[in-house]
C-alpha cells in the first residue's frame, strides 16, 4: 500500500463536499483549527453550493474534487461533510495525477466510497476521520481532531480502549480497511467493492433499523467477506432503530452472531464512526490488533 507524504506546517489543505450541501459559516471554526496547525486552507467551490440536498450538481462536485486531486499545491483533502452523493461521481473521477502524487484524503461515512475505491483499485492509504462539520464549534481540540492531526503529520497512532462484554480475544496483524457498513453493503459487486482477504475489517453505522444491520451482515457473510478476514473492529453503532415488533437482538449481538463460527478477534464500541470521539484510522495501513482485557490497536510507523 502506498503512503502519501506526511503533512508539514505551511502545506495546503483542500476542503470539498462530495455529498451533502454545507455553508462556509458551518465550517469556519474547523478552518480556524486547521490554520492553528500551521496549515493553509483552500475552500472548494462546492462549499455553499446547493442542488437540492447536494453540494452542487454531480458535475460541480466532480469538478471540485478533480481540481483538488490534480492540483500539486494541495497536499491533502479533508471532506467537509458526508450525507449521500459520492457514489454518484466516483466512476467519473480521474485518479491519474493522484496516483503520480498521492495525497491524504480524509473523511468518513459517505466518504467510505472513496476509501473503498482507492484501497481496492489504486492501493493508496487514506484517513477515516472526522470531517469539518464534526469539528468542535468552540474551536477546542478533541480526540477526533487531535488524532486526525497526528495521522496527517505522521505522528505515532495507537489506541487502548476498554473491554466490551461481547469482545472475542485474540491477536491479529494486517491492513485495516472498511468504514460505514451501509456504504460497504451498497458497493457490493461494483468496481469499488472492498477486498477483505487477510484484512482487519472496521465497520460502523448510524440511524439504521436492526433488521437492516442483520441483512447487511448476512450479505457480507454470504459474499465471503467475513470468512477470510483476520479481525473485526466494530465502531459506533449509533442511534439504531427497531420495529414495533422487536428484532430481538441489538446491533452488537447481530454482528457477533454473523461471525460466531470464525475464530478471529472481535471488538465492539471502538471509538470511531458517528461518535464525538471519532478516532482517526489510516485505512490500508498495517496494524497490530489485540483483544484481551483491553483492546489495543497500533498502526505501524512508515
Provide the pLDDT for residue 301: 86
Three cell numbers written together for 33: 483549527
User: Does residue 117 have a pLDDT over 80?
Assistant: yes
Q: Is there a contact between 80 and 106 (Cβ–Cβ < 8 Å)?
A: no
**Which of 153, 178, 202 is at the close of a domain?**
153
Annotated catalytic residue, options 117, 274, 279, 290: 274
Shared-domain flag, residues 179 and 279: yes
Quote the CA–CA distance of 208 and 282 in Å, as a whole number.
25
Give the model's confidence band at 106: pLDDT under 50 very low, under 70 low, under 90 confident, else very high.
Answer: very high
Tell me the C-alpha to C-alpha distance, in Å, between residue 269 and each of 243, 265, 275: 23, 14, 10
Is residue 6 one of the residues assigned to a domain? no
Is residue 5 one of the residues assigned to a domain? no
Give the model's confidence band at 112: pLDDT under 50 very low, under 70 low, under 90 confident, else very high.
Answer: very high
pLDDT, average across residues 176-203: 98
Shared-domain flag, residues 172 and 286: yes
Provide the pLDDT for residue 82: 97
Provide the pLDDT for residue 269: 98
Q: Could you give the percent of the chain with pLDDT greater than 90?
A: 99
CA atoms within 13 A on the CB side of 12: 10
Phi, psi of 183 (to 5 degrees): -70, -40
Is residue 188 one of the residues assigned to a domain? yes
Q: Could you give the percent of the chain with pLDDT greater than 70?
A: 100
Q: In what side-by-side order are the strands of the sheet with 104-107?
A: 40-43, 12-16, 76-79, 104-107, 126-128, 281-283
pLDDT, average across residues 129-148: 96
Chain mean pLDDT for the chain: 97
Shared-domain flag, residues 171 and 294: yes
Shared-domain flag, residues 20 and 148: yes
Quote the CA–CA distance of 178 and 176 in Å, as a whole number.
7
pLDDT, average across residues 278-286: 98
Is residue 7 one of the residues assigned to a domain? no
Shared-domain flag, residues 93 and 140: yes
Tell me the C-alpha to C-alpha distance, in Å, between residue 145 and each of 139, 176, 186, 191: 10, 20, 28, 31
Label residue 2 exposed, middle or buried (CB < 10 Å: 0-12, 13-18, 19+). Answer: exposed
Shared-domain flag, residues 128 and 178: no
CATH of the domain at 68: 3.40.50.10740
Shared-domain flag, residues 117 and 169: no
Residue 182 is a catalytic residue: no
Is residue 175 one of the residues assigned to a domain? yes
Provide the pLDDT for residue 95: 98
Q: Is there a contact between 201 and 174 (Cβ–Cβ < 8 Å)?
A: no
Provide the pLDDT for residue 203: 98
Q: Could you tell me which of 89, 91, 21 has the C-alpha nearest to residue 56?
A: 21
Is residue 4 one of the residues assigned to a domain? no
Tell me the C-alpha to C-alpha distance, in Å, between residue 252 and each of 19, 257, 293: 28, 9, 18
Tell me the C-alpha to C-alpha distance, in Å, between residue 234 and each of 145, 237, 252, 273, 298: 21, 8, 8, 9, 16
Tell me the C-alpha to C-alpha distance, in Å, between residue 289 and each of 68, 294, 300: 34, 11, 11
pLDDT, average across residues 153-180: 98
Is residue 3 one of the residues assigned to a domain? no
Is residue 223 one of the residues assigned to a domain? yes
Quote the CA–CA distance of 204 and 218 in Å, as a whole number.
16
Number of folded domains that form the chain? 2
Containing structural domain, residue 242: 158-299
User: Does residue 302 have a pLDDT over 90?
Assistant: no
Shared-domain flag, residues 39 and 20: yes
Quote the CA–CA distance of 258 and 156 in Å, as a whole number.
33
Give the model's confidence band at 224: pLDDT under 50 very low, under 70 low, under 90 confident, else very high.
Answer: very high
Three cell numbers written together for 155: 505522528
**Which of 128, 153, 178 is at the close of a domain?**
153
Q: Is there a contact between 16 and 68 (Cβ–Cβ < 8 Å)?
A: yes
Annotated catalytic residue, options 125, 204, 252, 290: 204
Quote the CA–CA distance of 166 and 159 in Å, as a whole number.
19
SS3 18: coil
User: Does residue 138 have a pLDDT over 80?
Assistant: yes
Shared-domain flag, residues 148 and 17: yes
**30-88: per-residue pLDDT in tens?**
999 999 999 999 999 999 999 999 999 999 999 999 999 999 999 999 999 999 999 99
**Which of 137, 153, 169 is at the close of a domain?**
153
Residue 175 is a catalytic residue: no
Residue 109 is a catalytic residue: yes
Shared-domain flag, residues 89 and 208: no
Shared-domain flag, residues 141 and 166: no
Shared-domain flag, residues 143 and 164: no
CATH of the domain at 191: 3.50.30.60
Three cell numbers written together for 243: 420495529
Annotated catalytic residue, options 109, 129, 182, 279: 109
User: Does residue 233 have a pLDDT over 90?
Assistant: yes
Amino acid at each position: 500500500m502506498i503512503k502519501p507524504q506526511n503533512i508539514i506546517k505551511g502545506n495546503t489543505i483542500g476542503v470539498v463536499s462530495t455529498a451533502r450541501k454545507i455553508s462556509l459559516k458551518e465550517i469556519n471554526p474547523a478552518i480556524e483549527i486547521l490554520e492553528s496547525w500551521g496549515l493553509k486552507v483552500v475552500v472548494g467551490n462546492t462549499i455553499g453550493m446547493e442542488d437540492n440536498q447536494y453540494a452542487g450538481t454531480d458535475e460541480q462536485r466532480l469538478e471540485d474534487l478533480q481540481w483538488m486531486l490534480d492540483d500539486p499545491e494541495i497536499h491533502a483533502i479533508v471532506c467537509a461533510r458526508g450525507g449521500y452523493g459520492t457514489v454518484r461521481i466516483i466512476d467519473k473521477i480521474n485518479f491519474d495525477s493522484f496516483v503520480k502524487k498521492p495525497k491524504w484524503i480524509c473523511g468518513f461515512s459517505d466518504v467510505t466510497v472513496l476509501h473503498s475505491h482507492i484501497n481496492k483499485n489504486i492501493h493508496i492509504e487514506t484517513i477515516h476521520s472526522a470531517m469539518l462539520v464534526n469539528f468542535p464549534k468552540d474551536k477546542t481540540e478533541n480526540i477526533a481532531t487531535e488524532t486526525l492531526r497526528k495521522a496527517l503529520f505522521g505522528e505515532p497512532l495507537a489506541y487502548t480502549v476498554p473491554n466490551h462484554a461481547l469482545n472475542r480475544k485474540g491477536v491479529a496483524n494486517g491492513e485495516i480497511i472498511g468504514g460505514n457498513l451501509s456504504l460497504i453493503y451498497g458497493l457490493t459487486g461494483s468496481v469499488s467493492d472492498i477486498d477483505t482477504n487477510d484484512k482487519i475489517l472496521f465497520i460502523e453505522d448510524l440511524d439504521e433499523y436492526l433488521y437492516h444491520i442483520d441483512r447487511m451482515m448476512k450479505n457480507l457473510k454470504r459474499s465471503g467477506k467475513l470468512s477470510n478476514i483476520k479481525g473485526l473492529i466494530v465502531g459506533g453503532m449509533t442511534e439504531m432503530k427497531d420495529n414495533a415488533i422487536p428484532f430481538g437482538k441489538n446491533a452488537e449481538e447481530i454482528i457477533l452472531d454473523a461471525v460466531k463460527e470464525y475464530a478471529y478477534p472481535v471488538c465492539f464500541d471502538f471509538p470511531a464512526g458517528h461518535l464525538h470521539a471519532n478516532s482517526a484510522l489510516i485505512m490500508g495501513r498495517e496494524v497490530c490488533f489485540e483483544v484481551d482485557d483491553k483492546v489495543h490497536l497500533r498502526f505501524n510507523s512508515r
